[in-house]
Amino acid sequence: MSKNYYDPADLRKFGEITEWSEELGKKFFDYYGKVFEEGALSAREKSLIALAVSHVVKCPYCIDAYTKDGLQRGITKEEMMEAVHAGAAIESGATLVHGVQMMNKYKKLSM
Amino acid sequence: MKLKSLKFRKDDLSSPANQLEYLSNGIFKENELPYFKDKIAETGKFPLKPKKLEILQINLGYMCNQVCAHCHVDAGPDRKEIMTRETMLQCLEVISKTGAHTLDLTGGAPEMNPDFRWFVEEASKVGIKDFIVRSNLTIILANKKYHDLPEFFKKHNVHVVSSLPFYKREKTDKQRGNGVFDKSIKALQMLNEVGYAREDSKLKLDLVYNPSGAFLPTDQASMERDFKKALKEDFNIEFDNLFAITNLPISRFLEYLIASDNYEDYMYALVEAYNPAAVENVMCTNTISVSWDGWLYDCDFNQMLELKVNSKVKHISEYNEDLLNDREIVISQHCYGCTAGAGSSCQGSVA
C-alpha cells in the first residue's frame, strides 16, 4: 500500500473498479464515454467543462487527465486557465452568495 | 544553450542498442505492459508481413539546419551522414523498376545534400506518380542558395510535405527552436505564392502535426480544421491535408520522455490506445525505407534503431522487390507509436 492517499499511477488503474462490480463499472464507463462524445456540445467544449469541474471538485486525477486531454485537442493554456477561473468564480460565488443568508439571519436576530 | 544531437553529446541513448534495451526492459520486462509482439499475436497479426509495396522512402542524410527536441533521426548540423551520388545512382535504378507509386525523400533536411537537386531532376524523369519531398520549411530561408526551392519544387511537380507542430508560435518554437515559427510561416507563404495548395493547382502541400510533448495527437480531421482556420485567418496560408503523427519513443523523444519522467505514462497511453485496425494498415506493410548509405529498413524508425530488414536482400545494391515482399517485419515496443488510436504513419492516420 502506498503511504499517500493519492498516487498518480492509480489513474491508470481506474478501469479496475469494474473487477469488483462488473455491471456497475461497465455502466459507468459506457455512460462516461458517451457523455464526452461529440454532441450538441463539441468534445472540445466538454473537455474544457471537465477541466473546470475537475478543479472545483479538486480531483487530482481528473486535473491530470483533462490537462492532457486539452493538450491533445490543441486547447491552449490561456483557454485552460480561463476555464479554471470560470470554475473558481462559480465556487467562490457559491460561497459568497451565502453571505445573503448570513445577512438575513443577522437582521432577523438583531433588534 | 543550443541543443546538440545525442551523437555529438555521446549520450548513452545515441546507441540504438541502448534504446532497444530500454524499450524492452522495465515495465515490459516486469509484465506490466505486453511486448508488441505478444499484443499483435492476440489478433493473429504476428509475424507482421508486408502487403503490396507502395512507397519507397529514401533518407538523403541526417544533416539538418534544425535541432528539434523530438527528432527521431537525431538530426542536426553536426550530423555528417549524407547519401553519395553513387548510392543515389543505385536508388535511381531501383526507382525506374519499382512497383511503388510514391517516392518519398526525407532526411535530416534532404535539401542540404549537395546532390539533392540533381537527384530530384533525375528521379522526376522516371515519372513516378507521387513524388514527395519532406521539407522542414525553414531550410528555404536558411541561406540564399535555398530561396528558390519553391520554384524548384514547382518545376519538378514535387509534392511538399512539411512539418509544422502547431499553428501558434510558442509551441512550435519550444519544440523546434526560436524563430522557427516565423520562418516556417514565411516559407509556407512562399510555397503558396508559386501556386502550392491554391485552388485548381496540382501542386500539393501537406502539413505534418506532431504533439509538442508527452501526449498523443487527437483526431486528424478536427486538427486539420483548426490548422486551416488559424493559418488562413492569421497568415492567409493554405494547405491541402494535415497528417497527425504520433511521436515514437526513440532517440531524442525517448530522451525527453525519460528526462521529464513521462516515459512510463507515455508507454501506458500508447498501449492503452492500441488499435488492431491500425495494425492492418501500418506503414511498414507498404513501405521500404532506404538509409543514406543504402541499407534497407521496414520504416524510417527502424532505420534509426539500425534494425535492418529481415531478408536476404539488405542493401539497395542487391534490391529485389519480390524477395523483400516475402520478409517478416522487424518490430519492437516503439511500434506501439504507429498503432495507437487512429494509427500513425508518414501519411498520417491509418485507421
Tens digits of per-residue pLDDT, B268-305? 999 999 999 999 999 999 999 999 999 999 999 999 99
Question: How long is chain B?
Answer: 351
Q: Name the pTM for this structure.
A: 0.91
The alpha-carbon gap from A68 to the nearest alpha carbon of chain B, in Å, equals: 7
d(CA B336, CA B333): 6
d(CA A62, CA B22): 30
Report the pLDDT value the prediction gives residue B1, as an integer from 0 to 100.
47
Report the pLDDT value the prediction gives residue B61, as an integer from 0 to 100.
98
* 8 Å CB contact of B168 and A44: no
* 8 Å CB contact of A72 and B168: no
- Mean pLDDT, rounded, of chain B: 94
* 8 Å CB contact of A74 and B223: yes
Which residues in chain A have Cβ-Cβ distances shorter than 8 Å to B166? 74
- Mean pLDDT, rounded, of chain A: 95
Which residues in chain B have Cβ-Cβ distances shorter than 8 Å to A8? 265
Which candidate in A11, A14, A42, A68 is best for mutational testing of the B interface (most B CBs within 10 A)? Answer: A68
Which of B226, B268, B272 comes nearest A74 by C-beta? Answer: B226
Nearest chain B alpha carbon to A11: B265
Please list the alpha-helical segments (H only) found in chain B: 16-24, 36-41, 85-97, 116-125, 139-142, 149-155, 169-176, 180-193, 220-235, 251-259, 263-272, 276-280, 300-304, 321-325
Query: Average of pLDDT values for A33-58?
Result: 97
Report the pLDDT value the prediction gives residue B179, as an integer from 0 to 100.
87
Phi first, then psi, for residue A3 (nearest 5°) are -85, -5
% residues pLDDT > 70 (chain A): 98
The alpha-carbon gap from A99 to the nearest alpha carbon of chain B, in Å, equals: 43
Which residues in chain B have Cβ-Cβ distances shorter than 8 Å to A12? 265, 268, 272
Q: Kindly tell me if the per-residue pLDDT of B33 is higher than 70.
A: yes
* 8 Å CB contact of B168 and A71: no
Report the pLDDT value the prediction gives residue B2, as an integer from 0 to 100.
63
* 8 Å CB contact of B217 and A76: no
User: Confidence band (pLDDT; 50, 70, 90) for B169?
Assistant: confident
Which range has the worst mean pLDDT, A98-107, B186-195, B342-351? B342-351
Q: Kindly tell me if the per-residue pLDDT of A75 is higher than 60.
A: yes
3-state SS, residue B160: strand
Query: Average of pLDDT values for B67-87?
Result: 95
Q: Which domains does chain B have, with CATH numbers?
A: 12-33+51-261+285-322 (3.20.20.70)
Nearest chain B alpha carbon to A8: B265
Q: Kindly tell me if the per-residue pLDDT of A2 is higher than 90.
A: no
d(CA B248, CA B301): 8
Say if residues B92 and B122 touch (Cβ distance below 8 Å). Answer: yes
Query: Average of pLDDT values for B140-150?
Result: 96
CA angle B275, B277, B281 (to 5 degrees): 115
* 8 Å CB contact of A44 and B222: yes
Which candidate in A11, A72, A77, A80 is best for mutational testing of the B interface (most B CBs within 10 A)? Answer: A72
Which candidate in B164, B168, B222 is best for mutational testing of the A interface (most A CBs within 10 A)? Answer: B222
User: Confidence band (pLDDT; 50, 70, 90) for B171?
Assistant: confident
3-state helix, strand, coil in chain B (%, to 5): 40, 15, 45
Report the pLDDT value the prediction gives residue B160, as an integer from 0 to 100.
98
Q: Decide if A68 touches B, using CB distance below 8 A.
A: yes
Report the pLDDT value the prediction gives residue B30, as an integer from 0 to 100.
96
Q: Kindly tell me if the per-residue pLDDT of B122 is higher than 50.
A: yes
Report the pLDDT value the prediction gives residue B118, as an integer from 0 to 100.
97
Q: Which domains does chain A have, with CATH numbers?
A: 43-109 (1.20.1290.10)
Phi first, then psi, for residue B345 (nearest 5°) are -155, 175
